Structure 1
Amino acid sequence: MYRVLITDDLSTAGLKILQETPGVEVVNRSGKHTPEQVREFLQDVDGIIIRSATKLTPEILKDQLRLKVIVRAGVGVDNIDLPAATREGIVVMNTPAGNTTSTAEQAMALLLAMARNIGPAAASMKAGKWDRKSFTGTQLAGKTIAVVGLGRIGLTVARRCIAFEMKVLGYDPFLSEERARAEGIELYRDIDDLVGKCDFLTVHTPMTPETEGLINAARIAKMKKGVRLINGARGGIIDEKALFDAIQSGHVAGAALDVFVDEPPKDWGLAQLPQVLATPHLGASTDEAQELVAVEAAEIITGFLVRNEVRHAVNMAPITAAEMIDMQPYLDLGRRLGLFMSQFTKGGVRGVRLQFKGEAASKKTKLISNAFAAGLLSKALADNVNIVNADMLARERGIEIKEELSHEVGDFSTLISATIQTDDGESTAAGTIFGKQFLRLVRVDQFHLDAYLDGCLLLYKHIDKPGVIGFMGNICGKHEINIAHMALGRERNEPGGDAIAVLNLDNEPDDETLAEVSAHQAVTSVQLVKLPKAGEPLPWLVSR
């Protein structure tokens, strides 16, 4: 019998699913508890469903030998210490689908209310005023809206905007052209090409280092005068100070905000501007959303416990210690190849082909493929992309990952090769394992070489002629950059053809150094790739 603990209020629909699932016993202790009490409750249960009130800290999770799974009825997992859960071998899952419709509807409500001045008009009526002239708005039909981020919620918003006869432009680095076309969205890969073409802009990305301040002062300045902005995703994706200044100057006509950097705001200046419609993070605050996340949480935890299903995991699925010891270098190689390709390739990803040769073909290649996908997507998505959810996230963006297996041994006893089709063409990288732990990059496009697959990599393509390598050594010496290793790949075994060099550097070159390298007449391209240090553990490692 699997025991599931409930410590926060859960809708009756979710409780009913748990109670009616054979083999599951519900331990309902919803209410306020001390950390010591929660720790004690967890010692004899297999899983727990929480909302936002219960905090699962490292102290609570440490040595919980029976606990297998935590399910958050909602999207955010800020109240769960993910590294601690992972270290203890506990799978953490959330319910991203349950509040999609409610959050998208909130964005549409903000859009409509802002366009038609609903908030101030309603306040005027409550003040006993009949003032029609002050609240003239703008219609949505015929206008252009930019949707930044085309995941579940972004696509749902886009569909509703199309129903309102709006032209929809979209920005997403991973959604395929075919999927965007099928949805009726004009897709852009460069956000700077998008921002100047819209009357409205709404953001629906996760908060990551790459998306923080994504809509900044420079990009707002490129927008049309009179543009209106909506943020129902995460505070800080739109730079709040830049938005405040642009509204004050008259460049931005208005904004509708459901989220803020600080909640509640420490500085109420932006929220109190008359041109701003502000709500206190109500995106998922509907009866339906709360019931849906409860139902989804119950289905997820029973599926995991009873049928070994893993859905919407935000850390790593548990595998045995023996499997991990065997698979770790292959997972590491797959992830590093994905990280490499995410920085080396240009253009939107359309498809991926992974080839496993030799010993690699006899391993659990699906796990390796997921590790590759996690590396490929990690720069664009939230930090919780991992080998459990990476494949799903790729498929949602129209990226299909195909596997090809060959047990024949070629030049290497094991080889993993990744070929990515992008909007701009095709790129290939291949890696191998020397011994049991040394990872090597052995191919980049048509060039064969032997480079370390760790740390800071400087790649430059060039014409194979005397003096280029010496030039690079002088530049690095001039800027006090130490070259740890250098690998060279040549198109042919004689001078004059194309070549590529991969330098493993002990310290990262600055923009001035890269500019000097690019200025050499024989150098045709320069690319900096940042990978984990050698031996750095996988972020999803589980010890049980």
Structure 2
Amino acid sequence: MIKLLANDGIDPVGKQMLEAAGFTVDTTFIPQDELPVKLQAYDAITVRSATKVRKALIDQCPNLKLIGRGGVGVDNIDVEYAKEKGVAVYNTPAASSASVAELVFGHLFTGVRFLQDANRKMPVEGDTKFNDLKKAYAKGIELRGKTIGILGFGRIGRETAKIAYGLGMEVLAFDVHPSVTELELVLGGGVKVNVPVQYTEKDEVIAKSDFISLHVPYSHEPVIGAREFTLMKKGAGLVNCSRGGTVDESALLDALNSGQLAFAGLDVFDNEPTPRAELLQHAKISLTPHIGASTNEAQERIGVELATLIINHFKQLA
């Protein structure tokens, strides 16, 4: 019987699928520093963002046959080393795309209508300074007719573009390896239309867009730094629901404080789970605690997809 540790949890449907296939599934969380010893009792582990499966842990657990990542990025796993050691690595790149894309627009709607600041001030000042607050937030703008630049046009970037088209926005896209030339949009009544994707260079996307959304993998160097902020339209907005480290946070604060950037929406941070205080307290930043994939629907899809991959993998070995 295969013993699997779902260290960062797994949706009940995925757990049921695994158990029905004969797996023993343990959802008890084991702290990172205890994994080298306790993981040796398992054949496989699934993780999300919290648990790291690095080279040292892989070496300490020669019994490990599979690592599953419930989500898109695998930067918390030493993937190539695991494969060299004969450990299979799977992730679920498609399951959370719609949820992340919707969160992007949650941040965009929040930013263009000052909701992040209004939600802080209304409970404190709404009863005594209602008209002052109304005047302060009276210069919101609409998304319709504006241009969104999408850096990274994978599954999540494409879902973001579909929502943007539905809102009447223009879309500019950049991807290191563009693979899609058009998107299929489903309209009311199930009517389908194809929309061509407008690709251009990264700097041009940044310079021509009213809003920029990041959908890139983890990078050791920021994708958006001081140089990129100077290229942006004055008063642009930035949303990062991809990975911490892809935006230079000091440069971001400078751009917000100078007025070069009107607002930012952040779901990810350099120092998780302890983001820097200047970000958390800034009136122009809409904040969420890395919840892009955290919807009931996405978690069920992730659980089902991951369970299917794991079951099929071990079936092939049988």
TM bucket, shorter chain:
0.7 to 0.9
Structure 1 residue 288 corresponds to structure 2 residue 297: yes
CA 1:269 to 1:164, structure 2 compared with 1: closer, same or farther past 3 Å? same
Distance 1:16 1:104, change over 3 A: same
Deviates more, 1:4-13 or 1:140-149: 4-13
The match for 1:185 is: 197
Q: Are 2:147 and 1:144 equivalent residues in the alignment?
A: yes
Distance 1:236 1:57 in 2: 19
In structure 2, the CA distance between the partners of 1:255 and 1:18, relative to structure 1 (3 Å rule), is same
Matched to 1:197, the amino acid is K
Residue 92 of structure 1 corresponds to 89
The separation in 1 between residues aligned to 2:71 and 2:97, in whole angstroms, is 10
State the one-letter code of the partner of 1:206: P
2:237 maps to which of 215, 228, 234: 228
Q: Report the alpha carbon displacement of residue 35 of structure 1 after superposing the two structures with TM.
A: 2.8
Rounded to whole Å, the distance in 1 between the matches of 2:180 and 2:12 is: 42
Give, in whole Å, the separation in 1 of the partners of 2:171 and 2:77. 37
Residues 113-152 of structure 1 aligned to structure 2 (within 5 Å)? 113-127=110-124, 129=126, 130=130, 131-136=133-138, 137-152=140-155
Paired residues for 1:357-396 under 5 Å: none
Corresponding residue for residue 273 of structure 1: 282
Give the superposition deviation at 1:86: 2.6
Q: d(CA) in 1 for partners of 2:165 and 2:222?
A: 27
Q: Which residue of 1 aligns with 2:5?
A: 6
Distance 1:301 1:7 in 2: 12
Which one-letter code corresponds to 2:241 in the other structure?
Answer: G
1:175 pairs with one of 174, 178, 181: 178
**Aligned counterpart for 1:70 among listed residues 57, 67, 71:** 67
The CA deviation at 1:306 is 1.6
Query: Where does residue 211 of structure 2 map in the other structure?
Result: 200
Q: Does 1:254 align with 2:260?
A: no
Distance 1:93 1:138 in 2: 42
Q: 2: CA distance between counterparts of 1:199 and 1:116? A: 15
Q: What letter matches 1:231 in structure 2? A: N
> What amino acid is aligned across from residue 134 of structure 1 in structure 2?
A
* TM-score normalised by L of structure 1: 0.50
Q: 1:126 to 1:168 in 2, by over 3 A?
A: same
TM-score by length of 2: 0.83
- Of 272, 279, 304, the match for 1:263: 272
1:28 aligns with 2:25: yes
Query: Taking structure 1 as reference, are residues 27 and 257 closer, same or farther at Cα in structure 2, changes over 3 Å only?
Result: same
Q: Which has the larger radius of gyration?
A: 1
Contact 1:39 1:61 in 2 (8 A): no
Is 1:16 aligned with 2:16? yes
Give the corresponding residue for 2:187: none
> 2:291 corresponds to which letter in structure 1?
L
**Are residues 144 and 59 of structure 1, via their aligned partners in 2, closer, same or farther at CA, if it must alter by over 3 Å?**
closer
Q: How does 1:422-461 map to 2 (within 5 A)?
A: none
Query: In the alignment, does 2:158 pair up with 1:155?
Result: yes
Closer, same or farther: CA 257–299 of 1 in aligned 2, 3 Å: same
Within the alignment, does 1:301 sit opposite 2:310 as a pair? yes
Task: Tell me if structure 2 keeps the 8 A contact 1:231–1:257.
Answer: yes
Residues 180 and 187 of structure 1 are in contact (CA less than 8 Å); yes or no, is this contact kept in structure 2? no
Change (3 A) 1:55 1:227: closer
Q: Matched residue pairs, number?
A: 298
Measured in 2, the distance between the counterparts of 1:227 and 1:52 equals 30
Contact 1:148 1:204 in 2 (8 A): yes
Q: Which amino acid aligns with 1:102?
A: S
Following the alignment from structure 1 to structure 2, what is the Cα–Cα distance between the partners of residues 36 and 218? 42
State the SS of the aligned residue for 1:70.
strand
Consecutive unaligned residues in structure 1, runs of 5 or more: 309-544
Question: Which amino acid in the other structure matches residue 292 of structure 2?
Answer: G
In structure 1, the partner of 2:190 is: none
**Residues 479-490 of structure 1 mapped to structure 2, 5 A cutoff:** none
Query: 1:351-378 CA deviation, whole Å, 9 max, x = no partner?
Result: xxxxxxxxxxxxxxxxxxxxxxxxxxxx
- Give how far 1:68 is off: 2.9
Q: 1:207 offset after TM fit, Å?
A: 1.9
Judging changes above 3 Å, is the alpha-carbon distance between structure 1 residues 183 and 268 closer, same or farther for their aligned structure 2 residues?
farther
Q: Secondary structure at the match of 1:254?
A: strand
Q: Find the counterpart in structure 1 of residue 191 from structure 2.
A: none
With over 3 angstroms needed to count, the CA separation of the structure-2 counterparts of 1:237 and 1:306, relative to structure 1, is same
Q: Which has the higher strand share?
A: 1
Matched-pair contact (CA < 8 Å) for 1:54–1:79:
yes
Looking at structure 2, the residues matched to 256 and 63 of structure 1 have their Cα atoms a distance apart, in angstroms, of: 39
> Alpha-carbon deviations, 1:483-520, whole Å to 9, x = none?
xxxxxxxxxxxxxxxxxxxxxxxxxxxxxxxxxxxxxx
Structure 1 pair 141–32 and aligned structure 2 pair: CA distance change class (3 A): closer
Aligned partners of 1:168 and 1:184 also within 8 Å: no
Go from structure 1 to structure 2 and tell me whether the alpha carbon gap of 1:149 and 1:69 turns closer, same or farther (over 3 Å shift). Answer: same
Whichever residue aligns with residue 168 of structure 1, its letter is V
Superposition RMSD in Å: 2.6
Q: Kindly indicate whether the alpha-carbon contact (under 8 Å) linking 1:63 and 1:88 is maintained by their aligned counterparts in 2.
A: no
CA distance in 2, matches of 1:52, 1:193: 32
Shift of the 60–207 alpha-carbon distance from structure 1 to 2, 3 Å rule, reads closer
Moved more, 58-67 or 105-114: 58-67
Matched residue, 2:189: none
Confirm or deny: 8 A CA contact 1:227 1:252 kept in the other structure: yes
Q: Which has the higher contact order (CA 8 A, sep 6+)?
A: 2
Q: Give the 3-state SS of the residue equivalent to 2:299 in structure 1.
A: helix
Higher helix share: 2
Structure 2 residues not aligned, in runs of 5+: 185-193
The 3-state SS of whatever aligns with 2:239 is: strand
Which residue is equivalent to 1:324? Answer: none
Shift of 1:229: 1.1
- What amino acid is the match of 2:228? R
| Cα separation, 1, equivalents of 2:167 and 2:262 | 21
